[in-house]
């Protein structure tokens, strides 16, 4: 089968298409013929060994994914496709089922075939969704759902989503709204109409206004792009408020130690639940969630797609058409 591979860490140019062996499903796995897959920030950071995050984080990244060369040469977490083969222990899926989901940091989705555990983060596709739309659900959906659900948002609470126009941010605005929050979206003015359509109540252009200096207080601040810090946001949190980061090692440390400052907390939550994909599917079918897609690329144009994602200017998701 064909797959996008990389055999050394670096920029998008290290990616290339090669012939690799087709995987064989284990008894508890399904083999999926991949139709579409997302190209994400996580792919880019892993491909570059997290160089932008500093030497310590880069070293940790290499210890996890391969010190000198990548241990898993195929990137891609979020996919949609069709079940081509089911393991002997699989009861919930059959050959021909159209499915979508995420492999997490096992990656492997930028290929014509992929194996995933049937009991993990995979579900049949939402009714009426295309393969491209389904592949755009889980990257932002899961990364936003995990922290926002962990914040135990109550109806009427004020939630600010910083970096609201990205894959995680567009999902975060919709999920915060689903949980009953009054949502403030921080992005550029050109994305305000999109934010309104996703349910944002208030809008701030970060190039014109610093939300940390406008005097407003929030119950939850969700940094969907890893650009802020608890120290900067602390003054904008209400007493007992929660800061939700998606990046930076310092936030892991802050989340592990007590912060005796008006009961304010940092919660760094990344562990998804097994029903997350099914939960997102339910919201889509109920009309409460939709994946936002910026661009789609042909499989052969993966380098161009990765370069675009690396600009950090994408709106929502970037998708590879594989099948």
Do 65 and 109 fall into the same domain? yes
CA separation for the pair 262, 240 (Å, rounded): 6
Q: Any idea what DSSP says for residue 301? A: G
- Asked whether the predicted pLDDT for residue 250 surpasses 70, the reply is no
Reduced to 3 states (helix: H, G, I; strand: E, B; else coil), residue 203 is strand
Per-residue pLDDT at 192 = 98
How confident is the model over 161-195, as pLDDT tens digits?
Answer: 999 999 999 999 999 999 999 999 999 999 999 99
Reduced to 3 states (helix: H, G, I; strand: E, B; else coil), residue 313 is coil
> Sign of dihedral through CA atoms 305, 77, 137, 169?
negative
Q: Looking at residue 159, which CATH number applies to its domain? A: 3.40.50.720
Per-residue pLDDT at 67 = 84
Per-residue pLDDT at 258 = 63
C-beta of residue 122 within 8 angstroms of C-beta of residue 116: yes
Pairing of the two strands 29-39 and 317-321: antiparallel
CA separation for the pair 17, 114 (Å, rounded): 15
| Banded pLDDT at 79 (limits 50, 70, 90) | very high
| Residue 277 lies inside a defined structural domain of this protein | no
Do 102 and 211 fall into the same domain? no
| Residue 116 lies inside a defined structural domain of this protein | yes
Do 84 and 165 fall into the same domain? no
Instruction: Report the number of distinct structural domains present in the chain.
Output: 2
Show the domain range for 116: 2-137+291-321
Do 188 and 68 fall into the same domain? no
Q: What is the mean pLDDT of residues 229-254?
A: 83
pTM of the model: 0.92
Q: Which two tokens stand for residue 31?
A: 């083999």
Reduced to 3 states (helix: H, G, I; strand: E, B; else coil), residue 268 is coil
| Residue 29 lies inside a defined structural domain of this protein | yes
How confident is the model over 206-232, as pLDDT tens digits?
Answer: 999 999 999 999 999 999 998 888 888
C-beta of residue 297 within 8 angstroms of C-beta of residue 304: yes
Do 66 and 117 fall into the same domain? yes
| Residue 6 lies inside a defined structural domain of this protein | yes
């Amino acid at each position: 089968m064909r797959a996008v591979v990389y055999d050394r860490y670096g920029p998008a140019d290290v990616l290339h298409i090669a012939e690799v062996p087709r995987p064989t499903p284990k008894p508890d796995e399904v083999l999926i013929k991949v139709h579409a897959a997302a190209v994400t920030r996580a792919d880019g950071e892993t491909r570059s060994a997290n160089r932008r995050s500093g030497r310590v984080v880069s070293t940790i990244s290499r210890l996890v994914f391969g010190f000198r060369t990548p241990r898993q040469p195929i990137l891609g977490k979020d996919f949609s496709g069709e079940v081509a083969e089911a393991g002997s222990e699989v009861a919930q899926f059959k050959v021909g089922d159209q499915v979508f989901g995420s492999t997490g940091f096992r990656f492997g989705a930028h290929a014509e075939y992929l194996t995933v555990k049937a009991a993990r983060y995979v579900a049949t596709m939402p009714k009426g969704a295309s393969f491209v739309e389904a592949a755009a659900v889980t990257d932002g959906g899961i990364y936003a759902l995990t922290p926002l659900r962990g914040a135990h948002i109550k109806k009427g609470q004020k939630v600010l989503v910083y970096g609201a126009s990205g894959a995680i941010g567009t999902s975060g605005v919709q999920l915060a709204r689903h949980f009953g929050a009054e949502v403030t979206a921080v992005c550029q003015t050109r994305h305000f109409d999109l934010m309104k359509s996703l349910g944002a109540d208030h809008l701030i252009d970060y190039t014109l206004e610093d939300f940390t200096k406008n005097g407003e207080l929030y119950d939850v601040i969700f940094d969907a792009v890893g650009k802020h810090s608890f120290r900067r946001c602390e003054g904008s949190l209400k007493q007992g408020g929660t800061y939700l980061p998606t990046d930076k090692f310092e936030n892991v440390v802050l989340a592990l130690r007590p912060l005796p400052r008006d009961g304010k907390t940092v919660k760094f939550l990344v562990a998804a639940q097994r029903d997350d994909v099914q939960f997102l599917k339910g919201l889509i079918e109920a009309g409460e969630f939709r994946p936002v897609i910026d661009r789609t690329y042909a499989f052969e144009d993966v380098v161009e797609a990765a370069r675009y994602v690396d600009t950090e200017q994408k709106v929502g998701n970037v998708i590879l058409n594989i099948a």
